[in-house]
């Protein structure tokens, strides 16, 4: 594995990227890492003959923890990503770094170009700001439909969601049935804290998105993500013009 984009020299403004690595925190992260590894190994075994298990890596801090665990331990979990066409330049930089760091080419799914062209022609290039409906339609075209293709034929999928990330994710189970996509879904980081995520990244020198050091705790598409202010909720920078209760992109919404 080669060097990292920014994991060893965080900018001074972001306490999340430099937790104090106490003995207790290190031990907790080690125990939780073993638990995640076990969940993924068991899942890979259970679904080996029914499409296998795939992890959707969106290159946030949590997803980089899972990426590292999967590649480091050579787990039998496929890793794929969605490129909406509107990602921040920092995310593309990280994608390249992930390829170099782990010696793996990425499996990337793109939106169907006729659907994007039709949306832009009829609604406008930045129509997602105009209404929740148009925002959700953009997410459907650029994220939800490619995800459906990426998951087709798989037995289960894995996400980096954490229960503490937002009101819509409280009580998140490690394993659930994803009725929207019709397969089992694992959220192995469900009980991880933000501090534990960053401790793992520091302990294992995992590459991460440079935007995290610029007060972007949650990163999505460039036009729909902004930095947060001190004291704001960690998801406050996503679709910040909308009501918090509606702020999901459709990838993780229950039917
Ligand atoms: S996050 Fe914004 S740009 Fe990205 S797919 Fe959703 S609405 Fe479109």
pLDDT of residue 132: 92
- The number of beta carbons lying within 10 Å of the beta carbon of residue 42 is 13
Question: Is 224 labeled as catalytic in the residue annotation?
Answer: no
**Please, are residues 107 and 70 in contact by the beta-carbon 8 Å criterion?**
no
pLDDT of residue 86: 98
pLDDT of residue 241: 83
Atom from ligand 1 closest to the CA of residue 222 = 3
Classify residue 151 by its DSSP letter.
H
pLDDT of residue 11: 41
**Within a domain: 226:** yes
Q: Of the candidates 23, 112, 36, which has an alpha carbon nearest to the alpha carbon of residue 68?
A: 36
CA of 220 to the centre of ligand 1 (A): 8
Task: Check pocket membership of 206 for ligand 1, CB cut-off 6 A.
Answer: no
**Within a domain: 254:** no
Burial 218-248 (b: 16+ CB within 10 A, else e): bbbbeebbeebeeeeebbbbbbeebeeeebb
pLDDT of residue 21: 86
pLDDT of residue 170: 75
Question: Structural domain tally of the chain?
Answer: 1
Q: Whose CA is nearest to atom 1 of ligand 1?
A: 221
CA distances from 230 to 14, 21, 181, 234 (A): 10, 22, 36, 10
Q: pLDDT tens for residues 27-60? A: 999 999 999 999 999 999 999 999 999 999 999 9
- Counting ligand 1 atoms within 8 A of each CB, the residue from 221, 222, 238, 251 with the most, and so the one to mutate, is 221
**Within a domain: 51:** yes
Question: Considering the entire predicted model, what is its pTM?
Answer: 0.88
- Counting ligand 1 atoms within 8 A of each CB, the residue from 224, 242, 246, 253 with the most, and so the one to mutate, is 224
**Within a domain: 252:** no
- Counting ligand 1 atoms within 8 A of each CB, the residue from 136, 144, 249, 251 with the most, and so the one to mutate, is 249
Q: Which long-range contacts (CB under 8 A, 24 or more apart) does 239-242 make?
A: 239/135, 241/129, 242/132, 242/135
Q: Which long-range contacts (CB under 8 A, 24 or more apart) does 30-35 make?
A: 32/191, 32/192, 32/196, 33/69, 33/200, 35/188
Classify residue 101 by its DSSP letter.
H
Task: Check pocket membership of 128 for ligand 1, CB cut-off 6 A.
Answer: yes
Residue ranges in the chain modelled with pLDDT below 70:
1-18, 245-255
Range of the domain at 212: 19-246
- Sign of the torsion angle spanned by Cα atoms 77, 81, 182, 219: positive
Task: Check pocket membership of 224 for ligand 1, CB cut-off 6 A.
Answer: yes
**Within a domain: 211:** yes
pLDDT of residue 8: 40
Q: Where are the alpha helices (DSSP H) in 47-184?
A: 61-72, 89-102, 113-123, 132-139, 145-151
- The number of beta carbons lying within 10 Å of the beta carbon of residue 161 is 22
CATH code for position 141: 3.40.50.620
**Within a domain: 253:** no
Q: Whose CA is nearest to atom 2 of ligand 1?
A: 224
pLDDT of residue 250: 65
Atom from ligand 1 closest to the CA of residue 141 = 5
Task: Check pocket membership of 162 for ligand 1, CB cut-off 6 A.
Answer: no
Task: Check pocket membership of 139 for ligand 1, CB cut-off 6 A.
Answer: yes
For β-strands 77-82 and 53-56, DSSP reports them as parallel
pLDDT of residue 15: 57
Task: Check pocket membership of 238 for ligand 1, CB cut-off 6 A.
Answer: no
pLDDT of residue 10: 44
pLDDT of residue 20: 84
**Within a domain: 14:** no
The backbone torsions φ and ψ at residue 54, rounded to the nearest 5 degrees and listed phi first, read -130, 140
pLDDT of residue 221: 96
Q: How far apart are CA 240 and CA 173, in angstroms?
A: 26
Q: How far apart are CA 82 and CA 67, in angstroms?
A: 15
**Within a domain: 4:** no
Classify residue 95 by its DSSP letter.
H
CA distances from 110 to 70, 122, 127, 146, 195 (A): 23, 20, 19, 6, 32
pLDDT of residue 232: 82
Task: Check pocket membership of 91 for ligand 1, CB cut-off 6 A.
Answer: no
């Amino acid at each position: 594995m080669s060097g990292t984009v920014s994991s060893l020299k965080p900018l001074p403004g972001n306490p999340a990227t430099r937790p104090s690595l106490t003995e207790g925190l290190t031990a907790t992260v080690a125990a939780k890492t073993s638990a995640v590894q076990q969940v993924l190994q068991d899942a890979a075994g259970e679904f080996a003959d029914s499409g296998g298990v795939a992890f959707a890596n969106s290159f946030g801090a949590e997803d980089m923890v899972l990426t590292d665990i999967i590649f480091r331990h050579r787990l039998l979990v496929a890793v794929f990503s969605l490129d909406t066409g509107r990602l921040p330049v920092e995310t593309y930089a990280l994608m390249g770094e992930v390829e170099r760091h782990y010696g793996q080419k990425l499996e990337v799914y793109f939106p169907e170009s006729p659907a994007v062209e039709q949306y832009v022609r009829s609604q406008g290039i930045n129509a997602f700001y105009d209404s929740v409906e148009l925002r959700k339609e953009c997410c459907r075209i650029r994220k939800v439909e490619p995800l459906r293709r990426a998951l087709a034929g798989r037995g289960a999928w894995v996400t980096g969601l954490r229960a503490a990330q937002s009101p819509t994710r409280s009580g998140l189970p490690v394993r659930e049935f994803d009725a929207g996509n019709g397969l089992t879904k694992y959220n192995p980081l469900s009980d991880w804290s933000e501090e534990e995520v960053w401790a793992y990244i520091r302990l294992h020198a995992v590459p991460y998105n440079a935007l995290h050091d610029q007060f972007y705790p949650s990163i999505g598409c460039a036009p729909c993500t902004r930095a947060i202010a001190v004291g704001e909720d960690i998801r406050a920078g996503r679709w910040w013009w909308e009501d918090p209760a509606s702020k999901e992109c459709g990838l993780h919404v229950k039917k």
